[in-house]
Structure 1
Amino acid sequence: MTVELARAAQSGDDVAFAGLIEQHRAGMRAVAISLLGHVDEAEDAVQDAVLVALRRLPELRDPAVAGPWLRAIVRNNCRMALRARRAVPVAEPEPLLPADPGPGPDQLLDRAATRDWVHHAVAALPRPVREVTVLRYFSAHSSYRQIAELCAVPEHTVRSRLRDGRQALRRVLHETAAGAHADSAAAAAASRAHADATLDAAHSGHYHRMLRESFRPDARLTVLGGLTGTPEVMLMMLDYTLGAGVRTRLREATASRDVMVWETDFVNPADAPDHCPPGMVWLHSLRDGRTAHLRLAYRLEE
């Protein structure tokens, strides 16, 4: 039964994926409780594992080990939770996947993005919960610290909001995986097209027009480090950056209803390779299809 469900899930059958998770949920939960000892934390580790499994399922070369593979993901999540509590680190589980890394992260993210039923669940969340969920599972700006800084909330708030997101996913697994939902790939493509147009406008000197078209008149801008103001502040930032010969290119874009996340890279000139950090994350909160609040954070790690 597990083999058939795993193979069907790998081929994109969301009902099979839901069935696979429900078949092994008890074992996954038992692993989490045995390591963490706290029911709430253990449930978080299991729900995190569901989302990791959704993204990494194409890597599973032997469907017969789907159960141990799922439990290993839970074990890794528990290990990270124990480290966060500054406990004695738990040993790494034996790898259950071959040395071949398989598809790259971008390909896996694209495959996960086609799971419209997951995005349907995320889109139904309140905006603060949706923002942290999109950042955590569909962007590279995904550590608790990074999300907390970008959203200007404590890390424990990020964790509680993510718990709400995971609970919503669990409800979806129980209630519906076969229904028709909005096309998440189309939403991501629209977000990417918007990002491309914005960067093109910046490089061609037409960012003023883009501001008028894309931002609400009362829009706010927040940049980590305390800089706040109107989107016109972006003009000063762009003038400084582009005037130094730096160029910006889009790395990734995703969206969930009235939330968009863009990840961009800075391409520094040869004579000033350290002028800008590696990149930037843009978190848009939309209202009536236009940006009402833009939050920016520099990406310092590669």
Structure 2
Amino acid sequence: MGTSHAHSSSTTDADLVHAAQAGDVSALGSLLIRHRPSLLAFAISLIGYGPDAEDAVQEACLIALRRLGELRDPAAAGSWLRTVVRNVCRMRYRARTDQPLDDGLAATLRSSEPDPTELVWQHATRDWVWHALADLSPPLRLVVMLRHFSSVTSYQDIADVCGVPVGTVRSRLHEARGKLSQALLATADAAHGDVRVVTGEWRRYSQDMVSAVYRGDVAAQLAVSWTPTVDIRGPHDLRNEGYGALVRGLEQDMLDGVGYRVTNVAASRDIVVCEFELRSPPEDPLHCPPGAAWVLHVRAGWVEQARLFQLRRQPVETA
């Protein structure tokens, strides 16, 4: 983490951006405090006065936190932030639906985007992000992790993962963004443990699990980390059977020739999101969905609850 510094009114936007990109979280907080009134006014001019405008600015703050490393012209930070707010407002005005937010920002960023989590790793604010997330309640933390740090981004998909209505997802995201935005604007700048250690451990664990599936000893792998009474919920009648049904399903996948590959892991203190690519056997290309995400609830190192979410297959266009 960067060291906290005082930022005077004579400090330019470019100075704040350079400091923030170097890991000074307080510089990012100062930048957002400086522009927040104009951003809120801009949002109100686009979608009217009310909680939606405030929520749009809060979401823009989180996007700025994640994407500041991509800003190529630090002197243009003000116009970049307004672009972020405009895209957030456009998505809300057009959809108020399940289209992922990041799609609306594609035009403002370089065309070949890294994985969302890689953006966080690229600058030292990552530890602040995850420390702030750890202060949220598990339900709030989960929706933020899914929305901003996984490919399960649509409101409906998040609702399916969490087992709650879409309206609840919206309200939880609103509350979580508000708390994170307040923490950021308060420039809570302290030394935090490096989240890469935790995430790296869970990524290795996920890869070991895939290897265990191929070796045929997945039951032994689960036994050292999942409680025997783990509550598993998902398709194919997995609910409340411990991991026996899961083991049988994975063993059958191997017999059928299904392939697995870990694509993303987002880990906090007690919630882990593990994403996998699934490859159907060549002779049966529609055998399985294109991917899956596990949401694991962990206590004292043991997985006590697991929710399996399968990605939807994109419809095939016909001539």
Q: Distance in 2 between matches of 1:147 and 1:83?
A: 20
* 1:185 CA displacement: 1.4
Q: Distance in 2 between matches of 1:146 and 1:234?
A: 22
* 1:301 CA displacement: 4.9
- Runs of 4 or more above 6 Å deviation: none
Structure 2 spans left out of the alignment, 5+ residues: 1-11, 98-103, 315-319
Q: Distance in 1 between matches of 2:263 and 2:75?
A: 36
What number of residue pairs does the alignment pair up? 295
Other structure's SS at 1:228 match: coil
Find the counterpart in structure 2 of residue 111 from structure 1: 122
* Cα 1:187–1:3 shift into 2, 3 Å: same
* Cα 1:115–1:287 shift into 2, 3 Å: same
* Cα 1:70–1:77 shift into 2, 3 Å: same
* Cα 1:93–1:59 shift into 2, 3 Å: closer
1:296 aligns with 2:308: yes
* 1:277 CA displacement: 1.3
Q: Distance in 1 between matches of 2:120 and 2:285?
A: 30
Q: Please, which of 73, 79, 85 is the counterpart of residue 68 of structure 1? A: 79
C-alpha offsets along residues 193-237 of structure 1, whole Å, 9 cap, x if unaligned? 111121111111111112211111221111147641222111121
**2:58 partner letter:** Q
Q: Please, which of 209, 215, 219 is the counterpart of residue 230 of structure 2? A: 219
* 1:123 CA displacement: 0.8
User: How well do the aligned residues superpose, as a CA RMSD in angstroms?
Assistant: 2.2
Q: Distance in 2 between matches of 1:235 and 1:93?
A: 40
The answer as to whether partners of 2:30 and 2:185 remain within 8 angstroms in 1 is no
Structure 1 spans left out of the alignment, 5+ residues: 87-91
Other structure's SS at 2:188 match: coil
Q: Distance in 1 between matches of 2:49 and 2:72?
A: 33
* Cα 1:215–1:178 shift into 2, 3 Å: same
1:168 aligns with 2:179: yes
Q: Please, which of 262, 266, 273 is the counterpart of residue 250 of structure 1? A: 262
Q: Distance in 1 between matches of 2:112 and 2:32?
A: 22
After the TM superposition, which residues 87-126 of structure 1 pair with which residues of structure 2 at under 5 Å, given as runs? 100-101=110-111, 104-105=114-115, 107-111=118-122, 115-126=126-137
Q: TM-score, normalised by structure 1?
A: 0.90
Q: Please, which of 45, 68, 81 is the counterpart of residue 57 of structure 1? A: 68
Find the counterpart in structure 2 of residue 42 from structure 1: 53
Q: Distance in 2 between matches of 1:14 and 1:147?
A: 29
Find the counterpart in structure 1 of residue 22 from structure 2: 11
User: What is the identity percentage for the equivalent residue pairs of Structure 1 and Structure 2?
Assistant: 40
Q: Distance in 2 between matches of 1:34 and 1:228?
A: 48
Q: Distance in 2 between matches of 1:108 and 1:93?
A: 14
* 1:43 CA displacement: 1.3
* 1:95 CA displacement: 5.5
Q: TM-score, normalised by structure 2?
A: 0.86
